[in-house]
Amino acid sequence: MSKKLICGVDEVGRGPLAGAVVAAAVILDPEKPIAGLADSKKLTEKKREALFIEIREKALAWSLGRAEIEEIDQLNILHASLLAMRRAVEGLPVAADHALIDGNKLPELPCSAEAIVGGDGSEPCISAASIIAKVTRDREMVALDAEYPGYGFAKHKGYPTKFHMEALKNQGVTPVHRRTFGPVKRLLG
């Protein structure tokens, strides 16, 4: 009897006012344990970067899924997050038998699944997915910072910090801002 392949799934980027929402699905290899897996938000950037490389080398399979800004504005952030998660699972090069999803909502998936609140801190496969998703999205925000200087994307990653709100007021809304999010919507009138 073959062992069930379980993937962990998590997403990052629900709260920011700019950028895509990025999800990852990871199937860990029990033969290649990875030390130090934890909720990506509790790790230093340096530790996340090191684990990002190790996870991609050692995992049986990993995949990214995303929902773009237009999809977030069209669907709403919850449904866009679920879509990104579904895309991540469907993109795995090896089909998962079961998915562990961080949070309390389940996307429609091609396999059985369960939602685990705080799963990014308790399930190593979800921790791995949270790290892959966060490092990927953080890198995208650094790239957007170069494209749209003066907004501070590299620092705040699109979250509504005081600096970001001032930049929005002074420089206006960019194409990478989410039009349906309160602070952006109000500026657009």
Q: Show the domains of the chain with their CATH numbers.
A: 6-182 (3.30.420.10)
Residue 2's pLDDT band (cuts 50, 70, 90): low
pTM of the model: 0.96
CA 113 to chain centre: 18
Residues sharing a CB contact under 8 Å with residue 53, sequence separation 6 or more, in sequence order: none
pLDDT at 3 > cutoff 90: no
Q: What backbone torsions phi and psi does residue 22 show, to the nearest 5 degrees?
A: -120, 130
3-state secondary structure of 63: strand
The four Cα atoms 147, 71, 133, 138 give a dihedral, to 10 degrees, of 20
The mean per-residue pLDDT over the stretch 83-103 comes to 98
pLDDT at 133 > cutoff 90: yes
pLDDT at 1 > cutoff 50: no
DSSP string, 94-162: S--SEEEEESS-----SSEEEEETTHHHH-HHHHHHHHHHHHHHHHHHHHHHHHSTTS-HHHHTT---H
The mean per-residue pLDDT over the stretch 87-115 comes to 97
